Amino acid sequence: MSKAIGIVGIGSYVPDRIVTNYDLEKIMDTSNDWILERTGIERRRVADKDTASSDLGVKAAEAALADAGLSAEDIDLIITATLSPDMIFPSTACVIQEKIGAVNAAAFDLSAACTGFIYAITTAKAFIASGDAKKVLVIGTEAISKILNWEDRKTAVLFGDGAGAVVLAETEEGKGIITSVLGSDGTGNQLLYIPAGGTRMPASYETVDRKGHTIVMDGSEVFKFASRKMVEVSEEAVNKSGLTLQDIDCFLPHQANLRIIKNAAKRMGIPLEKVYINLHEYGNMSAASIPVALDEAVKNGHIKKGDIILMVGFGAGLTWGATVLEWNR
């Protein structure tokens, strides 16, 4: 019988610079109370002008490799989930591969926005299960501050920069990743997007002047979608795993909005002490959100060996996904 496939190393990194809600009050028409009441966010990390997504991803990747007791040469596949790549091509994964010296690894980016990490670890597990890879480095990394319109309080207050990474491999201890459920609904592709910069609307003086290269979001529609899908995909994944919601030791959701998280936990009957929340510190880090939270939860003892974890994400696309795993370290 094949071994379980699980996380054998984990790491994260966030920039040093902290931008609080009070800082944002000085540059846009908003307030700490307005942001806090609607989102639960108090502060976020912002990368400096010379730091790109790959730079953040390298730090997280190196931490995950060290935690796994592996060298970069041991990795045979790198999957990077990001909505803020260094450039359209080549992939940010290839840039990271060069920087860490993972000379034996294939590398590609995966674009599923805030659900990217769930999509990426599900893909990584499939590569390992098929025998096409043995050790896979999955990185969620974002420098979203570079693609925000800092005059738009509907989006600029929500996001932050950071990176998280895990190493996946076969393991003899525990069950590892038990199951995943992924989904998408392309009819919502313009509820959260960047209009310009691709082949539909190539860069021009006009697109730059109109801030067409920054995030646009229909907040109310995304809120309704996320509130519904977080519960639906969580329940589907747990049912598929053969477990129940009462078996979940840690509910680790995408860190986008405190109201969405609390409402989802209440509807599923998961007590708040089992829910890991850090969005007040970092805001929405998109594909980096879940791995950064996972790393923190492990390091501060919120997650222990043998715990059953439910991770769930939702984002642009529209996309959603959930993974149930047993923490085997």
Active site residue ranges: 114, 254, 284
Could you give phi then psi for residue 163, rounded to 5 degrees?
-150, 145
Q: What is the distance of C-alpha 181 from the center of its chain?
A: 16
On whether the CB atoms of residues 160 and 46 are closer than 8 A, the answer is yes
CA distance 193 to 318: 10
On whether the CB atoms of residues 117 and 83 are closer than 8 A, the answer is no
Q: What is the β-pairing status of strands 162-171 and 250-253?
A: unpaired
Structure token pair of residue 146 = 């570079």
Please give the single-letter amino acid code of residue 321: G
CA distance 137 to 262: 31
CA distance 47 to 162: 8
CA distance 60 to 231: 29
3-state SS assignment for residue 29? coil
Q: What is the residue whose two structure tokens read 């006009």?
A: 206
Angle (CA) 317 321 326, round 5°: 155
CA distance 57 to 44: 17
Whole-angstrom CA distances from 142 to 16, 128, 292, 296, 302 are 15, 25, 11, 17, 25
